[in-house]
Structure 1
Amino acid sequence: MTYFTHILLNNVIPLTIMIALGAGLYRAFKLDIKTLSKLNFYLFSPALVFKMLYESELTMSLLGQTLIFFLIYFAAMYLLVELVMKWRGYQGGMVTAMRNSVIFYNSANYAIPLNQLVFVGDAFTLSIQIIIMMMQSLLPNTYGIYSVNAHKQDPKQSLKTIMTLPIIYVIPLAFLMRGLHIPVPEPIYAPINYISNAFIATALITLGVQLGSMKWQLRFSDVMLSNVLRLLIGPAVGFVVVWLMGIQGAMAQALVLSCAVPTSLSSVLIAVEYDNEPEFSSQVVFSSTIFSIFTVTIVIYLMKFIS
């Protein structure tokens, strides 16, 4: 009950309040969703990723093993969702929207606080989650954008779009500066801190604005299918992957927990920015965040069986 109450009070309710504020602001002022989306892609998200990677303490051994886990897990979930979509007969933009809702998950503003709650501020498990966050920041801004535009525009144009995104330059820059112990001048680091601190609020308000602008024609079966794949099948696949890799202890628990979080806000931002099933994507993010209070609690309980 302690986990349940803490997740409710410290994750779900604060997220819901921010989303509700965004919806209310849209109703009152008709905020421009495209402007908010661009702020997230080109300003707030890159600043957050740079700050967290630059300040983290990662070893090459931990980085390598975590990346291997992530790639196997990502491939397994990708294959699974492809089989499900083929069975369901999805076509057009819905294929990308469903896929993104399952393979892109909230590894930053949900998973990092959750990690630190469960492992009581452990630096080792936080480093694992930061690596997952790095990959979950990079992939939506590369593959995610390419897949959304694949059926709309020439691949060269999609690649050109991807190359304009700061996130693909921020990640190697953060690693390089951290590895070479290059300090960031305070007049530059202070704005990075301010901007990164604004990421969560801006992303959630963006989701709220999108929800406030929707007609709310609930696509129950599609939304619930995505929720089941992300919240139930996702952590189950994580359990299998750590078992196959022979990973044990705190690392195994941290990796499984990283697979249990709800759909990422990135899926909404991509859907809005490139007009690809934004209503479905918004409904999935909102519902998976609410349902995760129950599913994450179950995963945390089952983690004690990982030795």
Structure 2
Amino acid sequence: MRIFLFILTNNIIPIFALICMGILIDRKFHLDVSTLSKINLYFFVPAFVFVNIYTTKIPLDMLKALGVVILILAINWIYGTVIGKLRRFDVGMTNAFVNSIMFYNSGNFGVPLITLIYSSKPFIVDGETPYLDFALTVQVIVLIVQNLSTNNLGVFNASKASGGVKVALKKALTLPAPYFVIAAFLLKLLPYDLTQFPLWPAFNYVRNGLVAVALLTMGVQLSQTKFHLKNPDVYLSVFSRLIMGPVFAFILVLLFGIKGIMAQVLIISSGCPTAINTALISVEFKNHPDFASQVVMVATLLSAITLTGVIYFATQMFPV
């Protein structure tokens, strides 16, 4: 119950409050959602990714976690493609469906959730690392892979239907986020601490602004969206993201022989709702934006219930 109330009060209510603000602002001023999505994808997301990667220490023993996260992406891509074939979706809808289950909210939803779960356990994992630090390091691995793939592969999928493979690849390479990932890793090798530079606070300001601006943008998009509450494809996507995601993660964790906190975090994070960036990308590249926005809304709301079960299952199956 405590975890459920935390998710409700610290994630669901604040998220929907900002989304509702976006809806109200759009009803009053009729904002351009395409401009807002560009601000997110070309300004806020790169800074968010850069700061998170640069400020996080990633030990070599996290390679197993990296392997699992990449394989989860691949399995969800195959699963989504098969569902698209069975449902006889066109190319655009298939790619929108694949994006909705491949990419999940590992940042502004996943990080606070992992923090809550392990902040009350001040024990040591390896004789040196506290539970919380270890769990957050695993979650940052998830965050890096998810951010990099969403702003690369996700854009490729969203734009492929209308422009073909070459055009989609070109559009994916124009987004700055992947280059900021590479820059962050390269700059970590230098014997200088960029956080001491005068411009560093500017990066922090931009990173901290991502969540609010992305949610407001989501609200504007929803204000302009025609809802079809009986659309079975929305609920199929939500089921795939919230239920099948943890199932795939559980199987991979067993195959890799991962135990303890690492196993728990990988399973729990795989049950997070669909990433808001999937809706922003769908808006930017006009690839079924109504479907993408509805999936994000429904998945975020229902995750307050499903994640409670996923957390209980993960902590019971892989005790520390």
Normalised TM-score (structure 1): 0.96
What residue in structure 2 maps to residue 98 of structure 1?
97
Give the letter for the 2:144 counterpart.
Answer: M
Larger deviation, residues 171-180 vs 33-42: 171-180
Deviations 1:8-64 (A, max 9, x none): 0000000010100001110010111011101111111111111111111111221x2
Equivalent-residue separation in structure 1 for 2:46 and 2:115 (angstroms): 22
1:305 aligns with 2:304: no
CA contact (8 A) 2:159 2:171 kept: no
CA contact (8 A) 1:263 1:285 kept: yes
Offset of residue 90 of structure 1: 1.1
What residue in structure 2 maps to residue 15 of structure 1?
15
Equivalent-residue separation in structure 2 for 1:96 and 1:129 (angstroms): 26
Equivalent-residue separation in structure 1 for 2:143 and 2:261 (angstroms): 18
1:37-116 matches, within 5 Å, as: 37-62=37-62, 64-116=63-115
Equivalent-residue separation in structure 1 for 2:172 and 2:82 (angstroms): 27
1:224–1:200 CA distance, 2 compared to 1 (3 A): same
Offset of residue 152 of structure 1: 1.8
SS at the partner of 1:262? Answer: coil
Q: Work out which of the residue numbers 178, 181, 193 in structure 1 matches 2:188.
A: 178
Offset of residue 157 of structure 1: 2.9
1:229–1:76 CA distance, 2 compared to 1 (3 A): same
Q: Work out which of the residue numbers 292, 296, 299 in structure 1 matches 2:307.
A: 296
Q: Work out which of the residue numbers 218, 221, 228 in structure 2 matches 1:217.
A: 228
Equivalent-residue separation in structure 1 for 2:82 and 2:167 (angstroms): 29
Equivalent-residue separation in structure 1 for 2:183 and 2:118 (angstroms): 29
CA contact (8 A) 2:104 2:274 kept: yes
CA contact (8 A) 1:66 1:128 kept: yes
What residue in structure 2 maps to residue 201 of structure 1?
212
CA contact (8 A) 1:219 1:280 kept: no
Offset of residue 180 of structure 1: 2.4
What residue in structure 2 maps to residue 157 of structure 1?
167
CA contact (8 A) 1:105 1:136 kept: yes
Give ranges in structure 1 of 5+ residues lacking alignment: none
Give ranges in structure 2 of 5+ residues lacking alignment: 120-130
CA contact (8 A) 2:246 2:271 kept: yes
Offset of residue 189 of structure 1: 0.6
CA contact (8 A) 1:37 1:272 kept: yes
Give the letter for the 2:188 counterpart.
Answer: R
Give the letter for the 1:247 counterpart.
Answer: I
What residue in structure 2 maps to residue 285 of structure 1?
296
What residue in structure 2 maps to residue 6 of structure 1?
6
Equivalent-residue separation in structure 1 for 2:152 and 2:192 (angstroms): 27
Deviations 1:235-268 (A, max 9, x none): 1111111011100001100111110100001110
Offset of residue 179 of structure 1: 2.8
1:106–1:87 CA distance, 2 compared to 1 (3 A): same
Any runs of at least 4 consecutive aligned residues in structure 1 with deviations exceeding 6 A, and if so which? Answer: none
Larger deviation, residues 14-23 vs 92-101: 92-101
Q: Work out which of the residue numbers 140, 146, 149 in structure 2 matches 1:139.
A: 149
Q: Work out which of the residue numbers 123, 131, 140 in structure 1 matches 2:133.
A: 123
Equivalent-residue separation in structure 2 for 1:97 and 1:86 (angstroms): 13
Deviations 1:108-153 (A, max 9, x none): 1100111111111711111111111111111121111112222322
Give the letter for the 2:160 counterpart.
Answer: A
Equivalent-residue separation in structure 2 for 1:256 and 1:190 (angstroms): 34
Equivalent-residue separation in structure 1 for 2:82 and 2:201 (angstroms): 47
1:252–1:178 CA distance, 2 compared to 1 (3 A): same
Offset of residue 155 of structure 1: 3.1
Equivalent-residue separation in structure 1 for 2:46 and 2:212 (angstroms): 15
Give the letter for the 1:167 counterpart.
Answer: A
What residue in structure 1 maps to residue 251 of structure 2?
240
CA contact (8 A) 1:177 1:183 kept: no
SS at the partner of 1:201? Answer: helix
What value does the CA root-mean-square deviation take over the aligned residues?
A: 1.3
Offset of residue 219 of structure 1: 4.9
Equivalent-residue separation in structure 2 for 1:233 and 1:156 (angstroms): 32
Give the letter for the 1:175 counterpart.
Answer: F
Offset of residue 154 of structure 1: 4.3
What residue in structure 2 maps to residue 268 of structure 1?
279
Normalised TM-score (structure 2): 0.92
SS at the partner of 2:72? Answer: helix
